[in-house]
Amino acid sequence: MNWPHKDLLDVSQLSREDVEVVMRTAASFREINARPVKKVPTLKGKSVVLFFAEPSTRTKTSFDIAGKRLSADTFSLAKTGSSLQKGETLKDTALTLEAMNPDAIVIRHASSGAADFVARRVGCAVINAGDGWHAHPTQALLDLFTLREVWGDELVGKTVVILGDIAHSRVARSNCRLLPMLGARVRLCAPRTLLPKAATALGVEVFNDIDAALDGADAVMCLRLQLERQEAGLLPDLREYARRFCLTTKRLSRAAPGVKVMHPGPINRGVEIASDLADAGNSLILDQVSSGVAVRMAILYLHITRKEKGETS
Amino acid sequence: MTPPADLVVRNVRVPGRDGAYDLLCAAGRVLTLAPHDPAAAFPRARVVDGQGLLLMPALTDAHTHLREPGQEWKEDIASGLAAAAGGGFSNIMCMANTDPVNDNAAVTKLMLRRAAESWPNGPRLFPVGALTVGLAGRELAPMEELREAGCAAFSNDGEPVADTEIFRRALEYAADLAPVVDHCEDPYMGKGTGANEGAVSARLGLRGQPDVAEALQVARDILLAEYLRAPVHLAHVSCRRAVELIAAAKKRGAPVTAETCPHYLLMTDAALLGYDTMAKVNPPLRSDDDRAALIEALRDGVIDILATDHAPHAAHEKETPFEDAKNGITGLDTALASLWELVRQGRLSAEDIVTRFAWRPAEIFSLPVNRFAPGDPADFLLFDPEESWVVTTEALRSKGKNTPLLGQSLTGRVVMTVVEGVVVHDLGRPAGS
């Protein structure tokens, strides 16, 4: 099939069939990542701009590797040292990048809606690598890919707990869209200060009590806690947070047998998740990282090779 | 003896009255508004055929930002008054958050001089003086000096006074001079986010401001006004919680008046979906329940007046990610036409609009107004309730094109505005015989 979307802004734009296409494509690329020579010429001559206006090592590296393994040329534009620090508007940056004719722009930005803003102003594909608190579609897709590798394609009947700073989490918002689409039950769990006031508008169950949330859970996705939340008056301190919400072996015993543990990284050990759990056999944290490369290869491939309506090959 | 009429509108309908009327004016004043007389002749008058049109007193906008001096790239007094003339306004009050701030007579006089140079025959400009020096909320502005220079009210609009001790003293001091207008917003809670806290902000991942942040300051102001017996006018009320507080206060006889704006009556925070920065405004667009409460409050007088909170910005100040965009919606050009939608739906009457957008604001701020009694200023507008027009950037006379209505079609249009007998806006209706 021809990929129907110019951009990937959030998972909410994807149909169930689109998601299956991404999963199938990622599975085929995963095989390349296991080869001794991890490179195919699929995107030779294509260029991908990695425009990260917010600090990021993991996601940026993941996209960089994904692009290079498909033989695309990748170019980094960071906020530090760029014209963005000199007061250039996002509109002008977008138009400047557009004038250089890239095939895709991967954007990470601190403002919710920034990827959409750029996508409306450029002709090439725009891939949202995280916009403010709004969306992080490739993270949700790689989380789904990871869970399917252990559970198989069927998510109906599974319960996934998303634990931690929901209010400020684009990962949580995207997963609240994607996992229920595949039939999973999603529970959010956080202190009230780290939930949006209208959290139920996200369409999933909301818990303030971690034990109740974990009861019978099949997977627990911990979120990173930004250390500055304490200064904003949302938390007393990290120790206090850990006392109520750190995922420990004891707490996890209420979950279903074989429960899986996930984290988008980077981890604050002993804050969001006990150190031993992060390294335990049921942790999928490193599988998420490997899935990330395959999923991002799929996303770059689908968006860069798509044909405009009426265009012939 | 009565002078002969020099300006006549014939065969026009008037909100709240049956049948057709003739309005006769002379030397900038109303002579009579009387039932239409097809036989009458007016050899010395400019005669306007009012058939199919509605005659209303020209409107008073108690809340605008005209940006001059200091931010003329957004708007200036000439362009702001052009928008006012086109929108059917005869009286415009402009807020003090200019650069420099309107906290002394020199700035007030500059504003009035600009108005006189650009629109010598109106719309009339009534600057609002700063309540505190530099709008900094620390020292009282020289209110007598400002009043003498021509200010009609005092306000820290945009920079509400956080320090309740200072605000109390400002209300007391101003009580014998001119009304105080307050922008009600808690100084800390979700400040300036431009998005209502609710389901929409949760989904979009935007920091939201709850209606409670507005209601808290409304409650503060009501309590102070009652305690001090000093009047306060509550600007741009946007939510049910504030409406309920005001209704209860008025029942007790508290000296408070209140306003709301067309955008709060016509839109909700659903307009933010897609991160439309044109709909970013402070206070933010609220829920449908808030909208319903405001319409009802306007009908029964809990909310006294309509005002635009006309807040023009340049294109580049809105063409940004949502959280970087400036707050504000431009409103003078479109106010009456946009509200007409509510009249068509039967949710407001044309009389409500006349009362809330012309008579009552003039009463609160002691401004000239036309009640169609002999001797009243000949300030009126003619409105074609059937004409449809598209809100294009060209159709807006304000420099600010920042309205979510851009590209939409409105039904109802101000075709003529007259201030003291002088036509200041005329879309060129054919003259009557």
DSSP string, B67-112: -TTT-TTT--HHHHHHHHHHHTEEEEEE-S-SSS-S-SHHHHHHHH
Taking CB atoms and an 8 Å limit, are B199 and A133 in contact across chains? Answer: no
Q: Could you say which DSSP state residue B29 is in?
A: E
pLDDT, residue B1, reads 58
Q: Helix B240-251 vs helix B288-300: angle between axes, to the nearest 10 degrees?
A: 30
Claim to verify: residue B286 and residue B170 sit in the same structural domain: yes
Any domain includes B371 = no
The distance of A256 to chain B (nearest Cα, Å) reads 30
Residues of chain A found within 8 Å of residue B210, distances taken between Cβ atoms: 197
Any domain includes B402 = no
End-to-end CA distance of chain A: 14
Q: How many angstroms separate the CA atoms of B353 and B348, rounded?
A: 7
Domain ranges of chain A: 11-136+290-305, 137-289
Claim to verify: residue B250 and residue B284 sit in the same structural domain: yes
Find the CB nearest B202 among A113, A114, A202.
A202
- Would A11-136+290-305 and A137-289 be classified into the same CATH topology? yes
Q: Is A114 on the interface with B (CB under 8 A)?
A: yes
CATH 3.40.47.10 fits A11-136+290-305, yes or no: no
Any domain includes B433 = no
In the predicted structure, residue B368 carries a pLDDT above the cut 80: yes
The predicted-structure confidence for B154-179, as pLDDT tens digits, reads as follows 999 989 999 999 999 999 999 999 99
Any domain includes B198 = yes
Q: Helix A285-305 vs helix A58-69: angle between axes, to the nearest 10 degrees?
A: 50
The predicted-structure confidence for B224-244, as pLDDT tens digits, reads as follows 999 999 999 999 999 999 999
Claim to verify: residue B228 and residue B205 sit in the same structural domain: yes
Taking CB atoms and an 8 Å limit, are B321 and A111 in contact across chains? Answer: yes
Any domain includes B432 = no
Q: Is A183 on the interface with B (CB under 8 A)?
A: no
- A vs B, Cβ pairs < 8 A, gives 66
The predicted-structure confidence for B292-350, as pLDDT tens digits, reads as follows 999 999 999 999 999 999 999 999 999 999 999 999 999 999 999 999 999 999 999 99
Claim to verify: residue B292 and residue B254 sit in the same structural domain: yes
Residue whose C-alpha is closest to residue B61's, from B149, B128, B107, B159: B128
When pLDDT is averaged across residues B358-370 and rounded to a whole number, the result is 98
pLDDT, residue A310, reads 61
**Is residue B336 a contact partner of residue B343, using CB atoms and an 8 Å limit?**
no
Residue whose C-alpha is closest to residue A300's, from A75, A67, A9: A67
Taking CB atoms and an 8 Å limit, are A196 and B324 in contact across chains? Answer: no
> In which order are the strands placed within the sheet that holds B180-182?
B59-64, B89-94, B124-130, B153-155, B180-182, B232-234, B256-260, B305-306
The distance of B317 to chain A (nearest Cα, Å) reads 10
Q: Is A202 on the interface with B (CB under 8 A)?
A: yes
In the predicted structure, residue B431 carries a pLDDT above the cut 80: no
Find the CB nearest A112 among B197, B206, B316.
B206
Taking CB atoms and an 8 Å limit, are A198 and B198 in contact across chains? Answer: yes
The CATH number linked to B338 is 3.20.20.140
Here the ipTM equals 0.92
pLDDT, residue A78, reads 74
Any domain includes B370 = no
Residues of chain B found within 8 Å of residue A197, distances taken between Cβ atoms: 197-198, 202, 208, 210
A301 sits in which H/E element: helix A285-305
Q: Is A115 on the interface with B (CB under 8 A)?
A: no
Radius of gyration (C-alpha) of chain B in whole angstroms: 21
Claim to verify: residue B78 and residue B215 sit in the same structural domain: yes
Q: How many angstroms separate the CA atoms of B242 and B322, rounded?
A: 26
- List, as one string, the DSSP characters of B9-20: EEEEE-TT--SE
The CATH number linked to B412 is 2.30.40.10
* Nearest-by-CA chain A residue for B323: A111
Cα-to-chain-centroid distance, residue B124: 13
Instruction: Check the CA dihedral A119-A122-A125-A126 and report its sign.
Output: negative
Residue indicated by tokens 């090959």: A313
Claim to verify: residue B64 and residue B76 sit in the same structural domain: yes
In the predicted structure, residue B432 carries a pLDDT above the cut 60: no
Residue by residue, pLDDT tens for chain A (313 residues) are 689 999 999 999 999 999 999 999 999 999 999 999 999 999 999 999 999 998 888 999 999 999 999 999 999 987 665 555 567 899 999 999 999 999 999 999 999 999 999 999 999 999 999 999 999 999 999 999 999 999 999 899 999 999 999 999 999 999 999 999 999 999 999 999 999 999 999 999 999 999 999 999 999 999 999 877 777 889 999 999 999 999 999 999 999 999 999 999 999 999 999 999 999 999 999 999 999 999 999 999 999 999 866 665 4
Claim to verify: residue B38 and residue B71 sit in the same structural domain: no
Taking CB atoms and an 8 Å limit, are A113 and B322 in contact across chains? Answer: yes
Given B186, B309, B352, B379, which residue is catalytic?
B309
Residues of B with a Cβ under 8 Å from any A Cβ are 197-206, 208, 210, 274-275, 316, 319-324
Taking CB atoms and an 8 Å limit, are B197 and A133 in contact across chains? Answer: no
Find the CB nearest A134 among B204, B210, B316.
B204
B157 in catalytic set: no
Range of the domain at B387: 7-55+376-396+408-426
Claim to verify: residue B110 and residue B26 sit in the same structural domain: no
**Token pair of B97, please?**
């958050």
Claim to verify: residue B88 and residue B11 sit in the same structural domain: no
Taking CB atoms and an 8 Å limit, are B198 and A117 in contact across chains? Answer: no
End-to-end CA distance of chain B: 26
Cα-to-chain-centroid distance, residue B223: 26
Claim to verify: residue B419 and residue B301 sit in the same structural domain: no
Residues of chain A found within 8 Å of residue B319, distances taken between Cβ atoms: 89, 91
Domain count, chain B: 2
Claim to verify: residue B325 and residue B392 sit in the same structural domain: no
* Nearest-by-CA chain A residue for B190: A232
**Token pair of B314, please?**
């340049």
- The CATH code of domain A137-289 reads 3.40.50.1370
Claim to verify: residue B231 and residue B340 sit in the same structural domain: yes
Residue to substitute from A111, A118, A131, A173, interface B, most B β-carbons within 10 A: A111
Indicate the SS3 state at residue B245: helix
When pLDDT is averaged across residues B32-37 and rounded to a whole number, the result is 97
Any domain includes B2 = no
Taking CB atoms and an 8 Å limit, are B201 and A199 in contact across chains? Answer: no
B62 sits in which H/E element: strand B59-64
pLDDT, residue A56, reads 87
